[in-house]
Chain A
Amino acid sequence: MAEAHPVGFQWVMEAKRRGAKVFHVDPRFTRTSALADTYLPIRAGTDIALLGGVVRYILENGLDFREYVLSYTNAATIISEEFVDAEEGDGLFSGFNPETGAYDQTSWQYAGQEGESGSMDTSDERDTAAGLRHESHGMPIPGQVLRDESLQHPRCVYQILKRHYARYTPEMVERVCGIPQEKFLELARAWTENSGRERTGALVYSVGWTQHSVGVQYIRTGAIIQTLLGNIGRPGGGVMALRGHASIQGSTDIPTLFNLLPGYLPMPHHAKHPTFDEWADSIHHPGQKGFWGNARAYCASLLKAYWGDAATPENDFCYGYMPRMTGDHGTYQQVLNMIDGKVKGYFLLGQNPAVGSAHGRAQRLGMANLDWLVVRDLFMIESATFWRNGPEVETGEITPEQCRTEVFFLPAASHVEKEGTFTQTQRMLQWREKAVEPPGDARSELWFFYHLGRKLREKLARSEKRRDRALLDLAWDYPTQGPLAEPSAEAVLREINGFDVATGRPLGGFTEARADGSTAVGCWIYSGVYADGVNQAARRKSRHEQNWVAGEWGWAWPSNRRTLYNRASADPDGRPWSERKKYIWWDEEKGEWTGYDVPDFEKTKPPSYRPKAGTSGPEGIAGDDPFVMQADGKAWLYAPSGVVDGPLPTHYEPAESPMRNPLYRQQANPSRKVYPDAINSVNPSPPEEQAQIFPYVFTVSRLTEHHTAGGMSRMVRPLAELQPEMFVEVSPELAAEVGLTHLGWAHLITGRAAIEAKVLVTDRLTPLRVEGRVIHQVWLPYHFGYEGLVTGDSANDLIGITLDPNVLIQESKVGTCDVRPGRRPTGRALREMVEDYQRRAFMSPDRHAPVVTPPDPGTSDAS
């Protein structure tokens, strides 16, 4: 956190000053570790084993916050008797289909609800990254559930959890993660001792957790711990995702993603959502409890915002215009399709996949096989110059005279040359004022896409084709201003907020959205950001003039709540759990919820409220159910649906690992998304033969001094000089083993590529003892490329394409490699070296790593 989010880290330092204990878990000792009380070096890709160990420690010692767990979680809920845990299935849960590599979730359901919800086959959900939809809400489940308040029923969630993690002992943590037992116990003790009524503990993660083939389950495990300890919805608690781009939260809320529409509405699927009703009902199951029950209003209002007057209840608000998904249309599938010549044109909008995406060579070869490419950026980045300066030009794989891709480079306006909102990592929108006009041809994306849309519509104006109606009927009449005819960002924000169609009055919040076409709302979760016709995101009331929650600075979704599920900061009767941790509470006299934040609960629903049987929507949520976006109002320790690779997190080895999975026969996540393509060779892992060809573990991350693929830092002099060269960090022990010298060169080889880097031999890296073996890990920054003031080989070239099945994010935080001293070969010899490794590791084009691990006669380690 100190490394990649230094200004956010001031709050950790503030907590430290007040006596907080800081633990840092990372494969390498970073600037965060330097300030932590305890640093735990970990084998990359084993966090679920560590966290599972903490879950076991809590349950075995009865250290959960029992009152919170009983009232606010699904710990007491009884699960179907058809459910078989992965502990009994050698790493596979019940319902696994080896043909599709996906689960049928029927047996995972709450008892009595089998067949009513869940998915018969999650392979479609995997292809469409359906898990992302749950950013704002849980999965639907119907009606009442069976509970055992004593938590003794063998099939209640509490007991299932206890059995599932029974083998995640301190010894097992040490065997899997390489973390000595005493260190692990220090963490487990501190975490549990600093949770409860009087204290809360916070968990902070970043892409070190997400970018794995089991990434979503990493976060789930963290959430299980925080829920068991009562650290959700309370001040100083929570699970905090530190996101790495200025508006990466915004770009999922208002998604530039293939599978989502604004506000986490799903992009329609050709088979599942042929009609508007089927689409809307798939989001809110009729009869479902909780706030998600109003989904139909959000759907209708979005289409109304898109197609304006043309969208009517009679024509299902132009639902017929919507494009339909048939499967995986994600960025990695697209790149493979580019290589196959299926994609004609490609827009890059402030993104640099030639350096920043996994498998750089595949990215560049894909771009070299397009008809046209539009790059919009501040600088001449690698993705715009691959055809003349890319490494493939040197190896002879790309020849400019034979590369047909037509490239348009369009300069972009910077953040001070346009106005608009970023959504930061805590879901807060902040409006930026424009300081100056953009220079020369530089323009905002708002300008580019508004005017591109205008031109497309002009060119099609006389078209009779049905397919063009969607463009011609589009509500696309934004006012423009200034010498450049810049569209008004404020007008767009107003549409995002939503308005009453008849009067134009901006809505005060999403509860005002209607399903009858009388409201248009661009993104329902952002509704309220323009309440009363005021740009709430532009609020800048000084922190000195308001309470510490600072609710009048910017605007957070939903409804300006700063801490989600904050009803949980009070006990079931509505009283603060403790004076120290007071946040939101029930004011009996006034008959309403009050506190420092906007209550994340119906303001006047008393703690004693109980719904009548069969009540749906928000009325179905009891006065002591804080998790109002969940269908049962409870935090889910066990997820009967919504997570496609298991209801409980389970340790699997990364797709590339030097180790056999010590816990299960199943080596890696059985439902991970794989791309069996000739260009995407995956290094062998145990029990496969030849795993030892790639004996070392590598991981990549950021440096404070650089940003992502380097487009905004390697081009900026005062930053470039602070970290001027690509390097690899190695431990003294590995340096001795391989023969590396400090500031000398090394090259790293995987089944995809070989790259070179200067060597930093440092005590900050350590070997780990895992299952009696010594495992060496190396670390690389991923900021470097071949353009800019400072250049170097790209770490992402090393990485293959294997994805998490829930959200389709790539496993780029861990892989295996070989490390050799000296510089890499150049020209054709470079590919020959990689091909030689592929031959020696038996990585022929038609070989695919087994998804389901076959039985092996050996014991723990095949090597």
Chain B
Amino acid sequence: MGIRTFIEGWPVYRQLTGTDPLGRGAAAQSPRTAELTARTETADSMARSVCPYCAVGCGQRVYVKDGQVTQIEGDEDSPISRGRLCPKGAASKSLVTSPLRQTKVRYRRPYATEWEDLELDVALDMIADRVLAAREETWEDVDSEGRPLNRTLGISSLGGATLDNEENYLIKKLFTAMGALQIENQARI
């Protein structure tokens, strides 16, 4: 920066020479302020999404910069929400970027008093083993009259109303094939 531009950038210089003699407006604007722009404008991408809280189904626009969510706001085009959000929907960025979010698998052994770490693949494998064992232990082939039951009542599941249809479809399909009847979700609660 040359000295001339440096001085011309000075508020007091602008105040003395410009249209803002009191230095309360144009002359007082700092270079940082002058360069301010909405971060939605400089985002790398924007995803059309839907609010994850209640079932009104408000449209959301999710702005991303450098792989991070930088803003979530209402989708003005939505005929349901017309760009508006309630406090929960408006807090969606804080929800998905919360420092309290768990991002590592945690494991509690029987009778333990503390959590331990566990690799995701190992956890998945352990769960698969336990599902098969529980199923084996509690399997019911037929009822007392010999009619088919094909099931286990040794496994339960609860949840689904916060999940996607595609996810619920796979859950129901897999559990049904496993013979695990006892699936329930928030709709019953």
With beta carbons under 8 angstroms apart, the residue of B49, B55, B90, B91 that contacts A244 is B55
B118 within 8 A of A: yes
Q: Please determine whether B159 and A424 come into contact, CB atoms closer than 8 angstroms.
A: no
Q: Please determine whether B96 and A456 come into contact, CB atoms closer than 8 angstroms.
A: no
Per-residue CB contact flags for chain A residues 429-459 toward chain B (1 = under 8 Å, else 0) read 1101111110111111110111111011001
Distance in angstroms between the alpha carbons of A197 and B164 in the assembled complex: 40
* Stretch from A41-49, A96-104, A488-496 at the B interface: A488-496
Supposing A256-B171, A350-B162, A523-B169 touch, asked if A4 and B77 sit within 8 A by C-beta, the answer is no
Q: Please determine whether B156 and A343 come into contact, CB atoms closer than 8 angstroms.
A: yes
> What are 29 contact pairs spanning A and B, CB under 8 A?
A7-B56, A7-B86, A243-B54, A247-B160, A248-B55, A257-B183, A270-B149, A329-B181, A337-B153, A342-B153, A347-B155, A348-B159, A350-B159, A351-B159, A351-B161, A402-B111, A409-B106, A416-B69, A420-B165, A421-B164, A425-B57, A434-B47, A444-B167, A455-B125, A467-B141, A492-B166, A495-B169, A540-B77, A554-B57
For the A-B complex, the count of residue pairs with Cβ-Cβ distances under 8 Å equals: 488
Q: Please determine whether A403 and B150 come into contact, CB atoms closer than 8 angstroms.
A: no
Q: Please determine whether B150 and A467 come into contact, CB atoms closer than 8 angstroms.
A: yes
| In the complex, chain A residues whose CB is within 8 Å of the CB of B126 | 408
Q: Please determine whether B55 and A247 come into contact, CB atoms closer than 8 angstroms.
A: yes
* Stretch from A612-620, A644-652, A701-709 at the B interface: A701-709
Q: Interface residues of B: mostly helix, strand, loop or mixed? A: mixed
Distance in angstroms between the alpha carbons of A342 and B75 in the assembled complex: 48
A862 within 8 A of B: no
Per-residue CB contact flags for chain B residues 103-134 toward chain A (1 = under 8 Å, else 0) read 11111111111010010100111111111111
A539 to chain B, nearest CB (A): 10
| In the complex, chain A residues whose CB is within 8 Å of the CB of B179 | 323, 467, 470
5 smallest CB-CB distances across A and B, nearest first, come from A424-B57, A420-B164, A440-B103, A349-B159, A256-B160
Number of residues in B with C-beta < 8 Å to the partner?
Answer: 117
Q: Please determine whether B102 and A379 come into contact, CB atoms closer than 8 angstroms.
A: yes
Q: Please determine whether A379 and B101 come into contact, CB atoms closer than 8 angstroms.
A: yes
Q: Please determine whether B181 and A417 come into contact, CB atoms closer than 8 angstroms.
A: no
| In the complex, chain A residues whose CB is within 8 Å of the CB of B107 | 406-409
CB closest chain-B residue, reference A445? B167
| In the complex, chain B residues whose CB is within 8 Å of the CB of A242 | 54-56
Q: Please determine whether A713 and B101 come into contact, CB atoms closer than 8 angstroms.
A: no
Per-residue CB contact flags for chain B residues 170-185 toward chain A (1 = under 8 Å, else 0) read 1111101111111111
Q: Please determine whether B49 and A435 come into contact, CB atoms closer than 8 angstroms.
A: yes
A534 within 8 A of B: no
* Stretch from A111-119, A141-149, A717-725 at the B interface: A717-725
| In the complex, chain B residues whose CB is within 8 Å of the CB of A331 | 156, 158, 184, 188-189
Supposing A5-B56, A719-B91 touch, asked if A420 and B183 sit within 8 A by C-beta, the answer is no
| In the complex, chain A residues whose CB is within 8 Å of the CB of B75 | 540
Per-residue CB contact flags for chain A residues 222-256 toward chain B (1 = under 8 Å, else 0) read 00000000000000000000111111111111111
B12 to chain A, nearest CB (A): 39
Distance in angstroms between the alpha carbons of A323 and B23 in the assembled complex: 79
Q: Which of B79-98 contact A (CB under 8 A)?
A: 79-82, 84-92, 94-96, 98
Q: Please determine whether B163 and A441 come into contact, CB atoms closer than 8 angstroms.
A: no
Q: Please determine whether B163 and A247 come into contact, CB atoms closer than 8 angstroms.
A: yes
| In the complex, chain A residues whose CB is within 8 Å of the CB of B162 | 245-247, 350-351
Q: Please determine whether A712 and B88 come into contact, CB atoms closer than 8 angstroms.
A: yes
Q: Please determine whether A255 and B172 come into contact, CB atoms closer than 8 angstroms.
A: yes
B31 within 8 A of A: no
Distance in angstroms between the alpha carbons of A407 and B113 in the assembled complex: 12
B27 within 8 A of A: no
CB closest chain-A residue, reference B126? A408
A611 within 8 A of B: no
B152 to chain A, nearest CB (A): 8
Q: Please determine whether B134 and A371 come into contact, CB atoms closer than 8 angstroms.
A: yes
Q: Please determine whether B168 and A255 come into contact, CB atoms closer than 8 angstroms.
A: yes
Supposing A7-B89, A247-B163, A379-B98 touch, asked if A271 and B147 sit within 8 A by C-beta, the answer is yes
Q: Please determine whether A270 and B50 come into contact, CB atoms closer than 8 angstroms.
A: no
| In the complex, chain B residues whose CB is within 8 Å of the CB of A324 | 143, 147-151
| In the complex, chain B residues whose CB is within 8 Å of the CB of A337 | 153
New A-B contacts (16) at CB < 8 Å, excluding given A344-B130, A432-B50, A496-B169: A5-B86, A7-B85, A246-B55, A247-B163, A247-B164, A257-B187, A344-B138, A344-B154, A347-B157, A409-B102, A410-B123, A424-B56, A443-B120, A446-B167, A717-B94, A718-B94
| In the complex, chain A residues whose CB is within 8 Å of the CB of B178 | 456, 470-471
Q: Please determine whether B111 and A401 come into contact, CB atoms closer than 8 angstroms.
A: yes
With beta carbons under 8 angstroms apart, the residue of B51, B58, B101, B186 that contacts A248 is B186
B147 to chain A, nearest CB (A): 5
A526 within 8 A of B: yes
Distance in angstroms between the alpha carbons of A345 and B130 in the assembled complex: 8
* Stretch from B3-11, B14-22, B33-41, B60-68 at the A interface: B60-68
Supposing A251-B161, A422-B165, A808-B188 touch, asked if A414 and B96 sit within 8 A by C-beta, the answer is yes
B1 within 8 A of A: no
Supposing A254-B168, A420-B165 touch, asked if A10 and B84 sit within 8 A by C-beta, the answer is yes
Distance in angstroms between the alpha carbons of A24 and B98 in the assembled complex: 36
| In the complex, chain B residues whose CB is within 8 Å of the CB of A349 | 157-160, 163, 171, 185
Distance in angstroms between the alpha carbons of A690 and B168 in the assembled complex: 46
Supposing A331-B184, A344-B134, A422-B165 touch, asked if A433 and B48 sit within 8 A by C-beta, the answer is yes
B75 to chain A, nearest CB (A): 8
Q: Please determine whether B182 and A422 come into contact, CB atoms closer than 8 angstroms.
A: no
| In the complex, chain B residues whose CB is within 8 Å of the CB of A830 | none
A267 within 8 A of B: yes
A139 within 8 A of B: no
Q: Please determine whether A442 and B103 come into contact, CB atoms closer than 8 angstroms.
A: yes
Q: Please determine whether A405 and B110 come into contact, CB atoms closer than 8 angstroms.
A: yes
A110 within 8 A of B: no
| In the complex, chain A residues whose CB is within 8 Å of the CB of B112 | 400
Distance in angstroms between the alpha carbons of A405 and B87 in the assembled complex: 37
Distance in angstroms between the alpha carbons of A338 and B103 in the assembled complex: 29
Q: Please determine whether A455 and B124 come into contact, CB atoms closer than 8 angstroms.
A: yes
A201 within 8 A of B: no
Q: Which of A277-320 contact B (CB under 8 A)?
A: 306, 320
A382 to chain B, nearest CB (A): 14
Q: Which of A160-203 contact B (CB under 8 A)?
A: none
A594 within 8 A of B: no
| In the complex, chain A residues whose CB is within 8 Å of the CB of B181 | 258, 267, 323, 325, 329
